[in-house]
Amino acid sequence: MSSSHEKLIYMANQIGKFFESQGRDKVVPGVADHIRKFWDPRMRKEIFAHLDAGGAGLAPDVRKAIERLKNAESPVS
């Protein structure tokens, strides 16, 4: 795992911890919305690639949020 991936994983999990303090039901939508709004498209592309490679290190709700965001950003064929 590259150090870039490690930094993104850390950042995503920290965002998840913040939203946990807002209530369990806020974690997945909050993380997805935050990453969509504030992460550069290259950062999102990199975390999606990490998810596709297994998503090691991502907290469960953070993983769900990234999956949700990835599905929302994927063009419909």
Asked whether the beta carbons of 47 and 11 are under 8 A apart, the reply is no
pLDDT at residue 76 tops 80: no
pLDDT at 77: 54
pLDDT tens for each residue of 1-42: 567 789 999 999 999 999 999 988 999 999 999 999 999 999
Provide the CA 35 distance to its chain's centre, in angstroms: 6
pLDDT tens digits for range 41-66: 999 999 999 999 999 999 999 999 99
Q: Work out the number of other CB atoms within 10 angstroms of the CB of residue 9.
A: 19
